[in-house]
Amino acid sequence: MKHELLKIKGIGEAMLLKLNHNGINSVADIIRYLPSRYEKHEISSIHSMQISKAITIKGKVDKPPVLNYIRKRLTKLIIDVTSETISFKVVLFNREFLKSSLFVGSDIVVTGKFDNTNKWMVASDLVLAKNYIEGVIPKYGLIDIGDRVFAKLVMEALKQETLFDEDPLPDELINHRHLLTQKQMLSLAHCPDSENAIEAVSKRIKYEELFRFGLRIALLRRINNNIVSIPKKYDIQKVKQFIESLPFELTSDQKAVTNEIFRDLKKPNPMLRLLQGDVGSGKTVCATIAAYAVVTAKEQVAIMAPTEILAYQHYQNLKSQFDLFGVRVEFLSSSIKGEERNLILTNLQNGSINILIGTHSLIQEEINFAHLGFVIIDEQHRFGVDQRKKLRLKGLNPDVLLMSATPIPRTLSIAIFGDMDISSIKTMPLGRKTVQTNVFDFSMIDSVIARVNDELYHGNQAYFIVPVIDGKEGSDLLGVQELYDILRKHIFHEYEIEILHGKMKNDDKTSILSRFYEGSIRILVSTTVVEVGLNAPKATVMTVINAERFGLSQLHQLRGRVGRNDKQSYCYFLSDSILMGNNRLEILEKTTDGFEISEEDLRQRGPGEVFGSEQTGIPKFKMANIINDEELLHLAFADAFEMIDSQSPKVVQLVNNTFSSIENFQLD
C-alpha cells in the first residue's frame, strides 16, 4: 500500500525519509507539527535606524565585496551598500559563500545592527531582494527540511486532512482562559494573518504545555506527601557543640536553611529539599551539620558527588571535621578495589561506617547500608533521575537533600522543582572579594596574557579553560594539548604547567590537582572538569577560551574557581561573538549574582539546556519558556492544581496519562 504521505504533492521517497527522521509519519503529523517560533519580515527605512537595535533595510551593492580571513575558520565579508542615498559598510562573519552572488548594483535586503558611528552594520542576515518575503514567517526548525519547503507541504496537507482530534482541554478552561480551540489553533498556526493571530496561537500552545506540566508536578507532590517515614531523633546538644566548633559564624541564610532542614528531619514524611546557593555561599556547611544530626540519630548518611575529584575533596574536609567527634567517614569510588573495597563494604553493611562519600559508584548493587537515613546529592543536575532514585532505594524512605550551585529565583524554582521544597542561600561569607570580570575578543589576547603573567609574578596561580579536549576535530576551537603547547613553548617558559581533562586516569587527575593545590603547578590548562566544587585558594586568575561555547551559568561556575581567598581575583572570557555584534556574555561583567545570571541563562537557553532534561524531568517545550512566560505558567499551574480532582472526562484522561508516565518516579 502506498504510504499516505507520498500522496502529498512535493513528497517523494527522499522527502519521506526526512519527514520520518523528524518524527512525522502521517498527514496529521504534518499539520500538528507546529512552528517553534515566528519571524516578522518587514523592511524599514534607514532613517528609523537606532544604534544597536536590529533593523531590516533594502539597499544596493556599490562595490565588489571584500573577503578577509581573520584567523582559523573565521572570515569577514565587507560590502559597501547604499540605502536611500545613505552609504555604509555591511560586515558578515563566516558568509564567504555570498561573495560570488553579490555584484555591483545588486538589490539586497539586510538585517543587522549599526554601530555608534552609523557607518558600519554588523549583519545577521542578507538576501537578494528578489528572494525576500515580507510578512509573518513560521519557523519550524526541522532537520534537513527548510522552513519554506515544509510550509508548502503543510498547505498541501491542509487540503487533504479534514479531521481534527477532539480537543484535549476541557471547554471550561478554554473559555475561562480565552484560548483558541485546537481546531482554530491548528488552522491559524501555519498561516497567521497578523501578530494578534500569532499571540493567540502561542498562548494556546504554551498554556497547554504548561498545564500538562502542572498536572505532573501536582501528582508528584501528592505521591511524595503520601509516603511515610520515621522522624529523626537527633541529639540537639551534640549538634550545637559541632556548630560551635566551626571556625566561623554561620551567615543568617545558613542559619535559616539549617533550621528548615531540621524541621524536615522531624516530620513523618521524608525530606525532599533542594538547597540552592551561589558559588562559595556555604551550602556544604549546612549539609554537613544536617549529616551530623542524622549520625547522632544512629542512622547512616550517603553523599554523592558528580566527579571523583569533588567527592574526594568532600571526604577530606568532612573527615578532618568529624574525626574529633567520633564519626567514621569513608570514601568509595570505582578506583578502590580488592581488600580495601571489601572492607569498606563490610563495615558499611554492619553499620560501623557513619558517612559514605563517593560518585555514582554508590548506586552499584553491591553497596548495602545497615540503616541509610539521609541522602545528600551534590550538584544534583549532574545526575539522571534513575541514578538519584537508585541511591534513595538503598534506604527505607530516607530524607533527601539535593544541592545545586546553579540557583534560580524561587518563583521559577516552583516550575522546575515543583515537587520539592526549596531553600536558598543568597548571602556570601565575609571577606570574599568580587571577581573582576572582563569579556574580550581575541584581539586582546596579548593584554590578557600580560595580566595573567602579573598574577603569576606575584606568586599566584592561573587557570586556562578550553571547551574541548581535542581542538583539531575540524573546528576553530583550541584543545587542551594545543593550548598547553602554546603556553609552555612560547609564553610561560619559567612556570610549571599541567593539563587536566575528563578522559585522564583518576590517579593522574588526583596527582595533578594535589600538586596544583600545593602550589608546585602554577598554571592549569583544563576543560570544565574543574567546574564543580574545586577549591584552590592560591588561584587568582582564570582565562576561558572560546567562552561563547559555554552557558552563562557554566561560566559563572567556572569563575567560582577563583576568588576563594581574601585576594583580588580576575576572570577573562575570550570570545569572537563580540566581533559579530552578539555579546550575550556581558551580564557576567555586570554582576556576580548567580540567581540573576541563571535567570538570564534560562531565558536564553531554556531549562532543558541549563539543567538537562533527563536530570530534572523537565519536558522539552515546543514553545513555552518558564522565564518569559512566567505569568502564563502561574495561571496554568493554578488551574492544574485546582482541577486535578475534577471529574471532567478530559481532565481525568489527562491525569491518567500523566500518572502512567510517572508512577515509578516517586521522590525524584
Q: pLDDT tens for residues 433-470?
A: 889 999 988 888 889 999 999 999 999 999 999 988 88
Collect all residues with Cβ–Cβ distance below 8 Å to 624 and sequence separation of at least 6.
Answer: 205, 206, 209, 210, 632, 633
Residue found by looking up cell 472526562 in the block:
649
Assigned fold of 1-42+137-163? DNA polymerase; domain 1 (1.10.150)
Q: pLDDT tens for residues 334-358?
A: 888 889 999 999 999 999 999 999 9
d(CA 111, CA 90): 10
Q: What is the pLDDT of residue 580?
A: 55
> Is residue 381 over pLDDT 80?
no
> Is residue 661 over pLDDT 60?
no
Q: pLDDT tens for residues 28-58?
A: 889 888 888 887 888 999 999 888 788 999 9
**Quick one: what percent of the chain has pLDDT higher than 70?**
88
Q: What is the pLDDT of residue 384?
A: 54
Specify which residues 468 forms β-bridges with: 479
Q: pLDDT tens for residues 550-583?
A: 888 889 988 988 887 778 999 999 987 665 556 7
Q: pLDDT tens for residues 199-223?
A: 999 899 999 999 988 888 888 777 7
Q: What is the pLDDT of residue 595?
A: 80
Considering only 1-5, 165-169, 628-632, which range has the smallest mean pLDDT?
A: 1-5
Q: pLDDT tens for residues 235-268?
A: 999 999 999 999 888 989 999 999 999 999 998 8
Q: Which has the closest alpha carbon to 277: 463, 401, 383, 437?
A: 401
Evaluate whether 239 touches 265 at the Cβ level (below 8 Å): no
- Mean pLDDT across the chain: 84
Q: pLDDT tens for residues 94-108?
A: 888 888 889 999 999
Which triple of cell numbers denotes residue 204? 494556546
Residue found by looking up cell 486535578 in the block:
644
- What band does 19 get if pLDDT is binned at 50, 70 and 90? very high
What average pLDDT does the segment 128-148 reach? 86
> Is residue 380 over pLDDT 70?
no
Pairing of strands 120-128, 107-114: antiparallel
Which triple of cell numbers denotes residue 519? 602550589
Please calculate the CA angle 375-381-386 and round it to the nearest 5 degrees. 65
| 236-425 placed in CATH 3.40.50.300 | yes
Q: What is the pLDDT of residue 322?
A: 92
CB 193: neighbour CB atoms within 10 A? 10
Range picked from 12-16, 429-433, 506-510 for highest mean pLDDT: 12-16
Specify which residues 111 forms β-bridges with: 56, 125
What average pLDDT does the segment 50-70 reach? 88
d(CA 579, CA 645): 55
Domain ranges of the chain: 1-42+137-163, 43-131, 236-425, 436-591
CB 118: neighbour CB atoms within 10 A? 12
N-to-C CA span, the chain: 46
Of 381 and 53, the structure prediction assigns the larger pLDDT to: 53
Q: What is the pLDDT of residue 668?
A: 34
- What band does 138 get if pLDDT is binned at 50, 70 and 90? confident
- What band does 386 get if pLDDT is binned at 50, 70 and 90? low
Q: What is the pLDDT of residue 81?
A: 94
- What band does 490 get if pLDDT is binned at 50, 70 and 90? confident
Which triple of cell numbers denotes residue 564? 576563594
Q: What is the pLDDT of residue 191?
A: 84
- What band does 1 get if pLDDT is binned at 50, 70 and 90? very low
> Is residue 497 over pLDDT 90?
yes
d(CA 287, CA 476): 42
CATH number of 43-131: 2.40.50.140
Same fold, 1-42+137-163 and 236-425: no
Q: What is the pLDDT of residue 498?
A: 92
Q: Which has the closest alpha carbon to 308: 467, 500, 461?
A: 500
Evaluate whether 604 touches 576 at the Cβ level (below 8 Å): no
How far CA 154 is from CA of 7, 150, 158, 478, 528, in Å, comes to 13, 6, 6, 43, 43
Q: What is the pLDDT of residue 18?
A: 92
The highest-level CATH class for domain 436-591 is alpha beta
Of 73 and 231, the structure prediction assigns the larger pLDDT to: 231
Chain centre distance of CA 64: 43
Chain centre distance of CA 558: 14
